[in-house]
Structure 1
Amino acid sequence: MEEHRNPRRSRRLAYQRARLQQGLLMSVILLGTILCLTLGSLLTPDRTYSDSENRKLAQFPKLSWSAVKDGSWFSDLESYTADQFAGRDFWIALRLRFLKLTGQKESNGVYLCSDDYLMEPPADPPQDSRNVEAINAFAARHTDLRLNMAVIPNAACILADKLPKNAPVRDQSADLTALAGSLQGISFLDVSAALSAHTDGQLYYRTDHHWTSLGARYAFEAMAAQLGISQPIRNYDTYTVSTTFEGTLASRSGSHAAYDTVELYVPQTDVEYYVSYGDAAETSATIYDRSALDQKDKYTVFFGGNYPRVDVYTTAETGKTLLLFKDSYANCLMQFLYPYYDHIILIDPRYYYDNVESVISREQVTDVLFLYNANTYFEDTSLADVLNVSEN
């Protein structure tokens, strides 16, 4: 009767009851969803690899007292839980849609740029100078060799006009200038101007952090004279081997707005070669691994990926042997380098543990080239570990 005598209070009570019922319903739905996802995660077999993210997934960590004591077990368990969560690929894609709807231009450390480009921000140079000190010490030990270094700027540096407006990126050009000024006894090959002059072509993949064969060609032509190559080949047979490449940045960001084209450049030359894959005792008549075109990471068409050491033997008869310290950017560049050396030794310091001094003397090295993309060089210190003979 009281509710009938006070209509306003009646409406308020009805509204509160409706809100309470909605809250209870939402709680039940949320708890049900969490329960279903948890059960799904428990019942679904663990995956070892994510095709969409192009990486290995964390596995359940081995339990030990030392791992519990130092906290690493709990950290590994967190990674395992995140990686094996049921419907992970769906939630990543859903998160990206939400970010786009809210106007955000960054996903999982990847910028969503114009023309469907995906770019990682330039890395901060390290606070220490381990790599530079090791390179300078190496140069001081080998004044009889032709020593060069090229650190390739990333897409966010060369294609800055495609970045989201006001994207917070550091000046990588200034970082490379500072690096060049810190080197002693070794020539720094700056390819930034050559790349910037050809931004009308596709120098970098839209979906991957690597440069394309076209970008590598322009860089090689800019470096050739300093490398002692007076008459570089200008004519190439080009082959499009894939138009459906989605690289590491598409995997990391969850964005699948574009596909990339992978091209191979074969120089028109009589120089022949074969490839030896170090300790694996495997040889090949080509630097290209076409089986990679059936896999997710089609950039590995160059050599099939990264190895501690790869040797390329040619019929060039130049009397020159090149020792190339590299990351994966050099894999693509080899299309253009091989005709000018009798022997090229590619060493990836991230996986190499032998003594490079013995390689130099045994293989009668005449030239040395350090070639990295800027982010790898600034973020990785394995080069210093390989060059410091006291640590080998």
Structure 2
Amino acid sequence: MKHKYSSIMASSLAKVVSVAAIATMTVNIIIPDHKQSETENRPLQTFPSWNTEHVLSGQYTKDLNTWFSDQFVCRDLNIHIKYLIQKTFVVKEIQDVFLTKQGLIEKTAKPNKEQLERNLNAINTFKQNNPELNVGFVTVPNAVSIKKLDNRNQEKIQKLYQ
């Protein structure tokens, strides 16, 4: 009796999952593509154009895979639910974005030493070319730097502002 019940449940579950998968694929194909994701503030992949060169190089399948993931029905809702679950389990960072009580803060890239050197040289050259000007330089911290500092030295910061 128990075995019969298990096989009926497994068969029913397989049918439900199959129907849901086919319905989702059908809806994904019928609904027109979205050009932009307001949630992620980025353009979304549109349906890739087919040509022999892209198919042979494998680029077509990569673009098609990106299209499926970008144009998935209720995608924004799924992203939001995933974010809420991660926030519930106190995840501090999701894909280079820090979750804070005040909101989301994007992680900054590591400094590019070559660019830093070019910038410093440009400032020094400007100062040499304009001796009559009083030239100074101030590094302004971004929100991530302040948040890291805040987490490590919260008591010290509170004493400074009292």
TM-score (norm 2): 0.69
What residue identity is the alignment partner of 1:110? V
Aligned to 1:131: 115
* 8 Å CA contact retained: 1:68, 1:74: yes
Q: How many residues align?
A: 152
Aligned to 2:129: 144
What residue identity is the alignment partner of 2:109? A
How is 1:65-144 mapped onto 2 (pairs within 5 angstroms)? 65-114=52-101, 116-126=102-112, 129-139=113-123, 142=126, 143-144=128-129
Structure 2: tracts of 5 or more residues without a match: none
How is 1:1-392 mapped onto 2 (pairs within 5 angstroms)? 14-114=1-101, 116-126=102-112, 129-139=113-123, 142=126, 143-145=128-130, 150-160=138-148
Query: The residue matched to 1:152 in structure 2 has which SS?
Result: coil
Distance 2:150 2:16 in 1: 42
* 8 Å CA contact retained: 1:110, 1:120: yes
Query: The residue matched to 2:65 in structure 1 has which SS?
Result: helix
Distance 1:61 1:149 in 2: 48
Q: Percent identity?
A: 22
Q: Deviations over 1:103-128 (max 9, x none)?
A: 434444423222x42223343334xx
Q: Which has the higher contact order (CA 8 A, sep 6+)?
A: 1
Distance 1:130 1:69 in 2: 38
Distance 1:77 1:148 in 2: 52
Q: Which has the higher strand share?
A: 1
Q: 1:113 to 1:132 in 2, by over 3 A?
A: closer
Q: Which has the higher helix share?
A: 2
Structure 1: tracts of 5 or more residues without a match: 1-13, 166-195, 201-392
Alpha-carbon distance, 1:40 to partner: 0.7
Distance 2:121 2:54 in 1: 39
